[in-house]
Each structure stands twice: as structure tokens, then as C-alpha cells.
Amino acid sequence: MAKTLVIVESPAKAKTLGKYLGSQFKVKASVGHLKDLPKSKMGITIKGGKFTPEYTVIRGKQKVLSDLKKAGETADRILLASDPDREGEAIAWHIAEELRSVNDNIFRVLFNEITKRGVKEAIEKPTTIDKKKFDSQQTRRLLDRIVGYELSPLLWRKVRRGLSAGRVQSVAVRLVVEREEEIKAFVAREYWTIETTLGAKTPPPFGARLMRVSGEKASIETGDVARAIVDELKVLPCVVANVETKERRRNPTPPFTTSKLQQEAARKLRFTAKRTMGIAQKLYEGIELGEEGPTGLITYMRTDSVRTADEALLAVREYVAATYGKENLPDEAIKYKTKKSAQDAHEAIRPTAMEWTPERVKPFLEEPDFKLYQLVWNRFVASQMKPAVYDQTTVDVKAGKYDLRATGSTLKFPGFMSVYMEDADDTAVRDVRDDDEGAHDDALPAVAVGEELNLLEVKPDQHFTEPPPRYTEASLVKELEERGIGRPSTYAAIMSVIVDREYVAKLENRFSPTELGTLVTGLLVKSFPSILDVEFTAQVEERLDDIEEGTVGWQNVLGDFYRPFHEQIQKANVEMRNVKAEEIPTEHVCEKCGKPMVIKWGRNGSFLACQGYPECKNTKEFRRNEDGSIRIVVDEPTNEKCPTCEAPMVLKRGKFGRFYACSRYPECTGRKSISTGVKCPDDGGQGELVEKMSRRGKAFFSCNRYPDCKFALWDRPVARPCPTCGAKFLVQKYTKKFGAQVKCANKECGYVEAAAEAAGEGAEAGAGDSKAAS
């Protein structure tokens, strides 16, 4: 009979552990949390400045608890092996509370990796439950419950029933809203650069950019000034003023932390944070590897440390030497420094054993699982390889008062780059003038100081400054981490909830605030400036860390938060704008009863309604013009026939954009989507791309099999294959600089044509929509 009961969260983890533990161990799963705050009420008693939570067994978990108690009665000891983080500590705490009545010989074990060695080491070193870690998790849970239960009802009364607000999610939405405001307020500025092609005594010709004029940074605002400089340069001698050659090194990046894994998986694999963490959990808990059975392939995936165990460093160095040669192996193992704010309780995310190469485990993994494992593997291997080495040459050229510069670089030694390179986000405002290296070439010819060069070509290039881009999942996770908002383990849930609750929309992998998100953020920022303050939210995270470290009591943290928050709630109940009751007058008049039409707020956003409601129930969709005035969206007649009754159909605009509706509505409710005639590229051609509309009134195009397929893009698809790369369709884009253009849907392909060339493909009809989407 088993003498030790081991309790984990998941059945998959239990199965893997069962492989390593003998008959003296019985492994059972709690299937997540057993106890939580009740769903029917706040579940926190606040009296005399003290907070008392009321935990109850989660509905449906009573049988699991009974089974665990029964198993615990006959065991010599109980080992609680939930995940080694705050959430796992809370699971262990509540299990211990319930099982102590049948067996009080309870210990805690922590698995950083679920391998034979990792399991054996943990079992041999059982510890006690960390109360301070539990207190930290409990404080976060109570804070979130208090905010949700006091703030959400306020939004129900003032905006719309069913809305919710969260301590961290609302700050994340605020970041998205403020980025959108930056984009709207951005005014593109014209600027010019001067690009030259120069010839030396030896080939090849090379490019150089004007960098300075009379010793000052070149700042050319108009085409007239640029052309005047071009005319001057054409008659001036170009002489080499300085040549500098130096060796540059690019160091490898550390192995993954949780947030870095989420960011890279979003950039390279287009995985959501939620998907990334789900796959990582599977890889940690164990994958069936044929005769080997269930095997944990990566270390624990919720970590903010870049530390690696010495034995793992030894193994990866042996692998690098054997696979890539000793010339790629540093003299000593590289030990990365973990940032001060990190908890450093666990190692970085890495493969558990170098014997499980991606190629070896590929037959046992689903494609997404393999891609993520390969990403973890490559990053870890590259982190213990030599830097890449470049030879970089900078040539400064003098032409009168004008200074030009060319930079050439050649890769001399690839080092870690032969295995892995980290992608970058486009988070900065782009301005060519910020590049101090001038024009770039792969290699420059040999030139000498004083050598006169031939000016083969000089041309002015027009540019416009660009607004900051909308956040992607990767860049929003990065922003949250850098600002100290939330914890890496919470980012996946944040990304999901702000989309699910319709505060932001995600198109082409970028977040845009919805009308609802913008409205609610504005109301919350005005009434709860501290709760929505980024720095305040980061300070709360620091206080949670302090609780875990034992430097502050959890009751004190809750009290410091609750007192001002509750006062703001009471004030907002009286002073917050009541959007639900608002009726904003307009110049429009109801054609049915002659009364004024007013703007009201409903479940699907703002709309026009007759002021005579409920006697007159006339409503209209509307759009705002640039000057702030509104225009009514009218139904347009079409040549389409209703699929139900064959009556003519009209073009309507609803919650999800334009669609065809039967003109006999409400007698007939026939309707159909507006198809672009382009097959969806993401679901094997089962669906078609149809026109939709975002909550901000922007046209976009998505698969008609949503939610089974979530492919979407802003640009109007054109039903023609790319003549250059063979991509299945083109897209119509609109920019201020080039107007309407038709481009390849594959962003890596440079094919482009004027929109007029797409005649017969709906280009003219879509120009306005594409402009709006841009």
C-alpha cells in the first residue's frame, strides 16, 4: 500500500510524476484550486479595518476533495506538489486546510522541472507551506475582488449592465486608449534626406547620406531646400575626411523568462500569450514520448529569472561543442544577471535535458507545441555561445560645408546568430534622421583619407514622421513588464480579458480601443485617478512582493488600498457621468413623428433615437464627421436577392459592419454577409473573407467562420494572386503619400501597383473603406 500521497494540480502532471515515483507513492490531482471566494457575493467581511475572506469549496470540486481526504487518511504523509509559485502556494494552503483534519503530516515539495532527477531532489527535500507567499497571493485575490465588486456595479448603473472593471486590466486598457489618442493627435511632419552614390578608385560604388550642414545636424524641412542642397553638391568635390574600422560584437540574449517567452512567441510564431502559456504548461507537465512515456521537456514556465543551474550549463556547453564546434563555445559558461525586481525563485525557462533535441521529440509533438519547444531550445543553446563579430567601417566624406557618412559592415563570425536571433518591436516613432550611421552597405570599398570621390548620383528623398504604432501582444506585454504592472504570470489572462470584454479589438495582431473601452477608461480615469494610475498599480505590485518577503503585513496593504478607494466609490456614485441616462441633442429630426433625434448609449454603443421613446421607437445608426457633426447611415438598395424570400435586399450597417438584409424586414429576417470573393488563408480555404466593422466604425475583413477561425485584416482583399510570389490574394491599402495602392498580402513581398490597375476587382468601391482602415 502506498505510504505517501502526492497531490498536484493537473492529471497530466500526475501521470508524469507516476512514471518517476514507485509503488510507495500515490499521485492524485486537485484539478486546480479547490477553494475560492464565493461567486454569489464579495466574500470579504470588512470590520474594524480588518479583512476576513470567506473561502468555500468550488462548485463541482466536492468529490475531488472527498477523494483526496480518503486517500490522505491512509497515507503516512502528504506531499503538496502544486506549481512552485504564489498561485501554487494558495492551492497547497487550501488543500492543507481541508486535509489537516484527517492527516496533519503535510509537507510542501517544489518541482522546478519534472524529470527523474528534479522529482527525486524535490521529494528528498520536503519543506513547509510558505505562509508569506500565500498571504501575497491572497492579498492580490482580495484586492481584485474588492475592485471588481465595488467598481463593476457602478459601471452597471452609469454605463451598461454586465460591464466589469479590474485593478490591472483597466490600466492595460488605459495604455491602449492613450496610445490611440497619441496616434490621433499625431501630426505628420515632412522632412527630407539627401542620398548620394559615390565611386572610389576601387569598386563597388557605395551610398552616403548627408548628416551635417556647417557642423549642425542636417534638418531639411522642404523640397525646395533639399533641391537647393542637391544642386550645390553636384558641383562640390567630395573628399574622404575620415575612415574608421572597428570590430563590433553582438552578444547573445539570456534564456527565456515568462514575459520574454510570451513576447518572442507573439513575434515569431504569432501566438497569443494565452496560447503560449497553455503550450508551455503542457511541455512542463509532460509529453508522451513513445516508449519513454510522459516526460517534462521544459523547466517551470512562470519565472522572471535568467538564472541557470550549473549542471544545465555543463550539459548545454557539451552540446554546443559537439554540435557547433569548440570555436563557438565561450571559455567559461555565461552567467546572466537577473534584474533586482525579479523574484528569482526559479531558473530561466530551458529544456530539461539536452538529449531531447527538437528533432528527436518532433514526432511526438503537435506542430504548435514543437514550434514553442524549438524556440525555447534555440534560445537556450544560443545563450551559451560566443558573440557574433562584425567588421564595421565608417567613412566620413566632406563636400564644402556638407558632411556625408557611409557605414558598411560584414559578418566575420556568426557565433550565436547561427542558432537564434531575437526579434524586435516597432515601438518607437520612426525618423530616418535619428540614424547616426548614415547610409548602410554590406561592404565598402577601400578608401584613403584625402581621396577624392566621384559623385555618381545625388537625390533628395521625401519622408514623413510616423506615429507610434498600436500595441501588439508582444509590445503590450513588454510595456506592462517595463512599467511593473501585473506579473508575467498574469499577462496571458490580461491579454485575453480585455479583448473578451470588448474593451479593445485585435486586428492584424494589434490592439485598438473600442468605443466602449475609450468611454469606460475616460470615466474611470476621472473618478479613480489613483486606481488607473500606472505608477500606483506598479507600487501595489511592489507591496505584494514586500508581503512575500515579510517586510509588511497583508492586512496593512489591504487597508492602505481600501480606505481611499472606498471614498472614491462613494463620490463616484454621485458625481460620475451617467452615460446610460444621457440624451445628447442633434440637428436631426425623426421622420416618423417629427421630434428631435438624440444620441443615446446602448448595448452596442452609441446610436440615434427618437426623443419620443417609448411612444416612437425609431432608431438610426450614425457616423461622426471630422468637424464633429453627425450623419445618418442610410440603407442602400442593391441588386442582391433575399435567400429566404427572393425580395430585393438592402445594404445595412449593424454591430458587425455592413451586411445585406431583406427589404421586407421585419416580415422576413433574411440576411447575408458581403463577401470579398477571397478564400480565408488560415483555415484551408473553408471560409471566405467578408466585410465587417469595428466598434470604432472602421471597416475590416475577417473569416466568415468566426469564431472557429479568427483571421482578420484591415486592408480590403483583392481576389487576384500575386504575380511575383504567388500569394493567394492582394490587398488594397491607402496612404497619404501614395494614395490607393494594391499590394501583395505577403508583407515580405514588395509587389505593388496603382489601385487603378485593379479595375474590376472592386478597388474603386473599397477605396474609402481602406482609407478608413488605414
Measured CA distances, 457 to 198, 231, 693 (Å): 7, 11, 47
Look at the alpha carbons of 645, 647, 648, 650 in this order and tell me if their dihedral is positive or negative: negative
- Element holding 550 (H helix, E strand): none
Residue 277: how many CB atoms within 10 A of its CB?
23
Helix (H), strand (E) at residue 543 = helix 534-549
- How is residue 566 written as a grid cell? 472606498
Residue 450, Cβ density class (10 Å: 0-12 exposed, 13-18 middle, ≥19 buried): exposed
Distances in whole angstroms, Cα of residue 394 to Cα of each of 407, 625, 676, 685: 5, 51, 51, 51
The grid coordinates of residue 151 equal 467598481
CA pair distance 719, 745, nearest whole angstrom: 11
The one catalytic residue in 300, 491, 562, 734 is 300
In the structure grid, which three cell numbers stand for residue 241, read together? 575626411
Which helix or strand (DSSP H or E) is residue 2 part of? none
Residue 460 to residue 688: CA distance in whole angstroms: 44
Q: How many CB atoms within 10 Å of residue 605?
A: 17
Q: Angle 515-517-518 (CA atoms, 0-180°, nearest 5)?
A: 65
Strands 675-679 and 688-693: antiparallel
- What the block records as the C-alpha cell of 773 is 482602415
What's the CA gap between 720 and 729, in Å, rounded?
A: 5
At residue 317, φ and ψ (nearest 5 deg) are -65, -40
Give CA–CA dist 44/38, Å, rounded.
Answer: 9
Residues 6+ apart with CB under 8 A from 679: 685, 687, 688, 689, 728, 729
Residue 455 pairs with which residues in a beta bridge?
198
Interior/surface letters 42-66, b for 16+ CB within 10 angstroms, e for the rest: bbbeeeeeebebebeebeebeebbe
Question: What does the DSSP 8-state code read for residue 269?
Answer: I
Pick from 600, 597, 595, 596: nearest CA to 582: 600
- Is residue 491 flagged as an active site residue? no
Degrees, nearest 5: CA angle 303-308-309: 120
CB neighbourhood size of 395 (10 A) = 28
Q: Distance between CA atoms of 238 and 215, rounded to whole angstroms?
A: 16
Residues in the chain, how many? 774
Bond into 707 cis (ω within 30): yes
β-pairing, 106-108 vs 77-80, is parallel
Side chain identity at residue 733, one-letter code: K
Chain position carrying cell 528534479: 118
CB 703 within 8 A of CB 688: yes
Taking a C-beta distance cutoff of 8 angstroms, is the pair 659, 674 a contact? yes
Cα–Cα dist 599/595, whole Å: 13
State the burial class of residue 250 (Cβ atoms within 10 Å of its Cβ: 0-12, 13-18, 19+): middle
Rounded distance between C-alpha atoms, residue 669 and residue 274, angstroms:
38
Give the integer Cα–Cα distance in Å for 261 and 411. Answer: 27
The Cα 478–Cα 563 span in angstroms is 32
268: DSSP letter:
I
Active-site positions read 300
